[in-house]
Structure 1
Amino acid sequence: MSVTRGKVGILLSNLGTPDGTDYTSVRRYLAEFLSDQRVIELPKFIWQPILQGVVLLRRPAVKGRDYARIWNRELDESPLKTVTRNQARKLGTWAAEMFGDDRVAVDWGMRYGNPSIPDAIARLTAEGCDRILMFPLYPQYSATTTATANDKLFEVLRGMRNQPAVRVVPSYFDEPSYIEALARSVRTTLETFAEEPEVIVASFHGIPQRNIALGDPYYEQCQHTGELLRDALNLPPTRFRITYQSRFGYADWLQPYTDATMRQLAHEGVRRVAVISPGFSADCIETIDEIGRENAHYFREAGGEVFTLIPCLNDSDDGMAVLCDRVLEETQGWL
C-alpha cells in the first residue's frame, strides 16, 4: 500500500496585538502577554496579585491610547497584524510559484491575541500539512520571544494524536541577506535627505539583565547584528550606537537605554539622528509610537533637531527576500 505525503506548512508567528484599542481588548491582550512566565519570570504568587491589582487596572487605558495613535483605521487593526498578514500572503505567493500550491501552504498566527498559533496549526493540518515549519519572526533569539512561541507550538502538538513533523527556523541575526537588507534600508531612507544624520542608532527591544545572566543569548546576538550593520554601512563607532528600549518595571535592563541615549546625543551637540530597529521584523507599537513619537520627543526636547525613523523591513521586497531565503534553507529535504 502506498502512502501519499502531505503538504509542507509554513507558519509565520509574531508577538501579537489587541483586537481593538478599547480598555477591555487591551486588558485581555496584556493579561495573556504578561501572564506568560517566559516574559515575567517571577513566581505566580508574587506576580499575579501585582498584575491583576495594579498593572491591569491602569496600563490598558494608557496602552490603548498608544495603540489608537497608530491604529490601521481602514482595516481596524494594528500595523503589526497588517504587516504580518501581508508577509504571509506574499510568502504564500512565492512558495506556490516556487514549489506549487499542492505542495506548500502558508499561514500566520500570533503568540498572544488573534489570530492564534493553535488556530493556524488547525488550518494548516486541515489543508493536509503533515510537516510544519515554524518561523518565529525574531531575528535574534530570546526566551521571551522565540522560546515562548515555540512553547505554544509544542503545547498544541502535545494535544494532537496525529502530530505533524515540525522544524523551527533558528535566529538569523548574522545572516548576510538580513544584514544587507538592513543596510539597504538605511541607505534608501537617508538618500532622501540633503544632510546625513550625524549618528545612526540601532535600537533593540530590551530584556532584564537577569535573563542574560541565566543564559539568554539575546544580548550577544543583538550586539553582533549591530556591529555587522555598522560595518556594512562603513561607519565608525562614534557615528553608530547600539541601544535598548521598552524597559518595564524597576529591574536593571539591557543598557544603554534608547531614551537616555537620545537625550545624551542632543546634549552632546548632535542635531541629526536616525533610528533603525533591527530586532523587529515588522513595524509595531514599539517602533512607530515608542521610537517614532516618544524618543523623537526626547531628542528634540533636549536640543536635537532632525529625528528620522527608519522603517522595519516589513513586507518590502528586501524583507520578503530575507524570509524566503530562510524558508529555502530550513525546508531542505522537505521541498
Structure 2
Amino acid sequence: MPHAPDTALLVVNLGTPEAPTPEAVRRYLGEFLGDPRVVALPRWLWKPLLRGVILPRRGAQSAEKYAQVWLPEGSPLAVYTQRLAQAMQVRLPDWRVMHAMRYGEPALADILRDLRGAGMRRVVVLPLYPQYSTTTTASVADVVEREARDLPIAFIEDYSDDAGWVGAIAASIRDWRAANGAGEHLLFSFHGLPQRLADRGDPYPRRCETSARRIAEALGLGEDQWTLAYQSRFGRARWLEPATPDVLANLAARGVRKVDVACPGFAVDCLETLEEVALRYAEDFAAQGGELRYIPCLNAADAHADALAALAQARA
C-alpha cells in the first residue's frame, strides 16, 4: 500500500472572481479591497466608500474586462494556477501539492485547515508573488499565521533573484523572440504599488529592480535595450514610477515602433496581463504608431514547474 505523503506544498495565488459577471466580481473585489494590507485606509472611511461607490461602479466595469479574457475552463488565473500545481505534483510525487487563493476559492484558510487535519509533517507555502510586498506576500502570511496553528510551516516569501526562476523567465523571452523576431526594446511591466508604501519601507520596488536586472543580464541586454515600469495604477495617490503607459508614450515619441513586453511579477497570466497589457496597452501604443507585443507569463511551462519545485525542495 503506497505511503501517504507527509509533506505538502501549497502554492497560493491572489484570487479571481468565479464568473465574469458583476455580482461575482463585486464579491471578489469586496474581499480583496477589504483587506487592510491592500488598502490601508481607516476602516470607518474605506468600508462605506468601498461598498457605496467602488463596488457598484467597478463590478460591471471589471466584469466586462474579465469577459474579454475568460477561458472555456474559467478564469485564466485560476486555470493556469491549477495547471501549474498539477505540473509541480508530477515533479514532487512524494509530496501532496495543492493550490489556494488568498481571495476567493479555493480559500487559503480552508486548504490550511484541510492540511492540518491530514497531519502533515511539513508544509511548504509558496505565494506565487516572485517579489515580496506587504500588500501581497504578507497578506498570505497573515492567514497562514492565523490558521496554521500547529502545522510546521516553511514559508517562501520571495524568489525575485532565484537562479532557476530567472533562467526560466529569460529562456521564455529568448525563445519567444527567436520564434517571433526581437522587437526594438524590451519592457518589463510589474504591478504597481502606492509610493507611500515604498517610502515606509516596503521592499517591493527593490525586488522588482533586482528581478528585471537579473533577467536582462541573463539575456545579455545592454542598459539601453530594456526598461522597467509599473502598471495597474488605482486611485489618485502617487504610485511607483515610471508608469507603463508613460514609458510606452516616451518610446513612441522617440520613434521606437516595436516593443516587446514581459510581466515577471506575475507567475501566471491574468486580467492584468491579458486585458490591461496585451489588449489595452497594445491598442494605445498602436494609436501612437507602434506595435506592442506581449510575451506570455510562464504559466504551467516545464521550466516554471521545474524552478518552483526545486525552490520548494530547497526550503523543505
Q: TM-score, normalised by structure 2?
A: 0.96
Aligned equivalent of 1:237, options 211, 223, 227: 223
1:260 counterpart SS class: helix
Tell me the residue number matched to 2:267: 281
Aligned equivalent of 1:307, options 292, 298, 308: 292
User: Residue 319 in 1 paired to residue 304 in 2?
Assistant: yes
Question: What do the CA deviations read for 1:234-275 (whole angstroms, capped 9, x no partner)?
Answer: 212221000000000001100000011112211210010000
User: Residue 192 in 1 paired to residue 179 in 2?
Assistant: yes
User: Residue 95 in 1 paired to residue 81 in 2?
Assistant: no
Identical aligned residues as a percent: 38
Aligned equivalent of 1:119, options 110, 113, 131: 110
The gaps in structure 1 that reach 5 residues or longer are none
Runs of 4+ that moved beyond 2 A: 122-128
CA distance in 2, matches of 1:135, 1:192: 32
Q: Which amino acid aligns with 1:326?
A: L
Cα distance, 1:237–1:329 mapped onto 2, change above 3 Å: same
Tell me the residue number matched to 1:260: 246
Q: How does 1:37-186 map to 2 (within 5 A)?
A: 37-73=36-72, 75=73, 77-96=74-93, 100=94, 104-157=95-148, 163-186=150-173
Per the TM alignment, residue 157 of structure 1 is displaced from its structure 2 partner at its CA by 2.9
Q: How does 1:31-42 map to 2 (within 5 A)?
A: 31-42=30-41
1:281 counterpart SS class: coil
CA distance in 2, matches of 1:6, 1:324: 16
Aligned pairs, number: 314
1:27 counterpart SS class: helix
CA contact (8 A) 2:91 2:306 kept: no
CA distance in 1, matches of 2:204, 2:138: 12
Q: TM-score, normalised by structure 1?
A: 0.91
Per the TM alignment, residue 178 of structure 1 is displaced from its structure 2 partner at its CA by 1.3
CA distance in 2, matches of 1:72, 1:151: 31
2:121 counterpart SS class: strand
CA contact (8 A) 1:5 1:130 kept: no
1:89 counterpart SS class: helix
Per the TM alignment, residue 5 of structure 1 is displaced from its structure 2 partner at its CA by 11
The gaps in structure 2 that reach 5 residues or longer are none
CA contact (8 A) 1:6 1:128 kept: no
CA contact (8 A) 2:11 2:125 kept: yes
Bigger Cα Rg: 1
Question: What do the CA deviations read for 1:157-188 (whole angstroms, capped 9, x no partner)?
Answer: 35xxxx21111013011111111111111111
User: Residue 220 in 1 paired to residue 206 in 2?
Assistant: yes
